Structure 1
Amino acid sequence: MTYIRPNFRHPESLRNDAGYSIKHYEGALSTLCAGCGHDSISAAIIKSCFDLNLAPHKIAKISGIGCSSKTPTYFLGKAHGFNSVHGRMPSVTTGANMANKDLLYLGVSGDGDTASIGMGQFAHVVRRNLNMVYIVMNNGCYGLTKGQDSATADQGSVSKKGVPSVFDSIDLCQMALQLGAGLVARCFSGDKKQLIPIIKAAIQHQGFAFIDVISPCVTFNNTPQSTKGYEWVREHMEATGTIDFIPDRTEITLDYPAGSSRTVTLHDGSELHLQKSSADYDLSNRKAAMQQIETVKEQQKILTGLIYHNDTKLDTHGKINTVDTPLNALTQDELCPGSEVLAALNAKLR
């Protein structure tokens, strides 16, 4: 059958330092519409995990409902996976993370799955600073139900149906900033040079990392009047700068043109180098990041790139002071220490 990916790979195909070939990070062939931006995001995830030498079995990919939430089938076929109900991906990820914090949690969602039915879930997973990568594949419409406007469709934006959206849009990056995310970025699915380093940085970030990826729907929302279409996005991007991800295991050699630059050191020692090409602002200043988004929006453009980074906050496990051993690895004696310990605990609550 044509939707089955062939198993053959050249025996001398490139392998990363962990001994894996790119095949170990692939999934099934995509059944999304030809040209869908979501497939470009899947390819960026595959490339990022390969370059970072991640063991596929140490990754958990979790999604909700929608075109975006189908994509985990198309990448990391050897990883753990869970397709949850509509808008509930953050709860499932939280539960899994509480049980085993040693896995990398990669949450994939859509603008409907996050900004509409899953808004409450999104808000609380951000404020708890769960250690995960949260990627929204944002196309401004409901692709599975014939292209109705979603909550991220900009006011006045025109989809294939030809009727401009009459409501103000929800800016998920601004929400993530306001709620306390440690890393916030926005990318365009058609710009892999920007997207791949951002995904790598998000993976290495300790805490909640949010990436809003503008991913045009080629079937329902790719008209010249749509602010989520390829044509409009390419002509209206305002990037924070060019980005390079430098793993801590390699010698760092840089050759940047004159201008403002910033180095973001991640928790594992890796570095993200940002060469500013627009008005400079402090990436660790949440207020400045919010202001920059608004400034670019007033110019009828989309701010892309790394928008905010702060690695000083404790993640969920740090906030609630969980044990070092993952909960699913604790023994029966450790989980049930006896009636005397329970009695002492109850006494403290009286």
Structure 2
Amino acid sequence: MSYVKPKFRHPKLPTNSLGYSVADYDGAISTLCAGCGHDSISAAIRNACFKSAIPPHRIAKLSGIGCSSKMPTYFLGRSHGFNSVHGRMPSVATGASLANRELTYIGVSGDGDTASIGMGQFVHLIRRNVNMTYIVANNGCYGLTKGQDSATADLGSVAKGGAVNPFDGIDLASLALLQGASFVARSFSGDKEQLEPLIRAAMAHKGFAFIDVVSPCVTFNNHAGSTKSYAETRAHVDAMQLDFIPMREEIRTQYEAGTSQTVTLHDGSVIHLQKASSDYATDDRAAAMQAIQKAEAEDKILTGLLHLDPNSQDLNQLLNLANKPLNELDKDELCPGSRVLDSINQGLR
């Protein structure tokens, strides 16, 4: 079997506004198990970057250790990449984003890499509001080491060997909300119509954007009794429909509640709007927590955009850093001399 991807591409592949085809966002051939939900996430990230017309060389992908952390090999082969040690990807992401704010940062992690050994770093990444998209491929088990329960395995979930999990699982979306994350979403690897626009919105968000993706492990956690199998997730998913439209000149419309309106978008496509009241507001953190808990009580998995802070300030803004990326500052800018240092010291007295 060959693991070398053929270089031939159809000459009439559609291109985005930068002239790139989706093939320009490909990576190596995946060596994960056939049918693994992680491969669907990789495809969603690739398609989201292509549709958002982000140059591949302006993207940095980072990961830790685990099946999920192998994923960056399988998408964006022309992008920057860093595979860190187990649970330590947040430190690398923080340093990289401070050094060069002009790259788009995508962190890929797993439920073990984030909810166990990396929990402390994950929490501080949220607290600092690092400008990045953080995706957890959540399968509730350690797929790389024969399927032991992870910290996100649900209470009562049955492992492949028959053991029943006696512990409550950690809900990473709820944790992200409690810690003050400015963008929180959840999705399912098998729902690309929802996952792709969520990733596009996360990459456009200014600040820390977290997406928890239920991603079944077809080898160790896709059997009867597992709460994160394909069948169980599809049977209990409670999905919010959404799409992502990039920022351009504002399109305005006005119509009464309970009526519909047709609107033409920038690309010429047409949408039909139906105005109706909604009890859910994405900018209400408490309402998001209640919605997650309500869905959990009804044995459902709530997916979609759970929370968005429209006034988010990322770490560069919070630290009042220079607009110019730190890695581009020259010696004179980094060491302006004793006069400037004296004035700074004087201002602190």
Aligned-residue offset at 1:250 = 8.4
Q: Deviations over 1:263-288 (max 9, x none)?
A: xxxxxxxxxx9999997322111011
Q: Deviations over 1:138-181 (max 9, x none)?
A: 00000111000000000100121111111111000001001111
Instruction: Note if contact 1:184-1:211 (Cα within 8 Å) is conserved in structure 2.
Output: yes
In 1: Cα distance, 2:40 partner to 2:301 partner: 19
Aligned-residue offset at 1:311 = 1.8
In 2: Cα distance, 1:237 partner to 1:277 partner: 23
SS in 1 for 2:242: strand
In 2: Cα distance, 1:208 partner to 1:214 partner: 20
Between 1:313-322 and 1:36-45, the stretch displaced more is 313-322
1:303 alignment partner in structure 2:
302
1:264 alignment partner in structure 2:
none
Q: Following superposition, which runs of at least 4 residues in structure 1 exceed 6 angstroms of deviation? A: 250-254, 258-261, 273-279
Taking structure 1 as reference, are residues 259 and 152 closer, same or farther at Cα in structure 2, changes over 3 Å only? farther
2:336 alignment partner in structure 1:
337
2:263 alignment partner in structure 1:
none
In 1: Cα distance, 2:18 partner to 2:217 partner: 36
Q: What is the correspondence of 1:197-346 to structure 2 with a 5 Å cutoff? A: 197-239=197-239, 241-249=240-248, 280-346=279-345
In 2: Cα distance, 1:253 partner to 1:324 partner: 32
1:26 alignment partner in structure 2:
26
Instruction: Note if contact 1:242-1:277 (Cα within 8 Å) is conserved in structure 2.
Output: no
SS in 1 for 2:234: helix
Q: Unaligned regions of 5+ residues in structure 1, if any?
A: 262-272
1:72 alignment partner in structure 2:
72
In 2: Cα distance, 1:97 partner to 1:57 partner: 15
SS in 2 for 1:157: coil
In 1: Cα distance, 2:60 partner to 2:259 partner: 37
Instruction: Note if contact 1:138-1:214 (Cα within 8 Å) is conserved in structure 2.
Output: yes
Instruction: Note if contact 1:243-1:274 (Cα within 8 Å) is conserved in structure 2.
Output: no
TM-score (norm: length of structure 1) = 0.91
In 2: Cα distance, 1:213 partner to 1:27 partner: 21
In 1: Cα distance, 2:276 partner to 2:125 partner: 32
Taking structure 1 as reference, are residues 35 and 294 closer, same or farther at Cα in structure 2, changes over 3 Å only? same
Taking structure 1 as reference, are residues 320 and 31 closer, same or farther at Cα in structure 2, changes over 3 Å only? same
1:189 alignment partner in structure 2:
189
Q: Deviations over 1:187-226 (max 9, x none)?
A: 0000111111111110111111000000000000111211
Aligned-residue offset at 1:11 = 1.8
In 2: Cα distance, 1:137 partner to 1:19 partner: 30
In 2: Cα distance, 1:236 partner to 1:12 partner: 40
Aligned residues between the structures: 335
TM-score (norm: length of structure 2) = 0.91
User: Which AA in structure 2 matches 1:103?
Assistant: L
In 2: Cα distance, 1:104 partner to 1:289 partner: 27
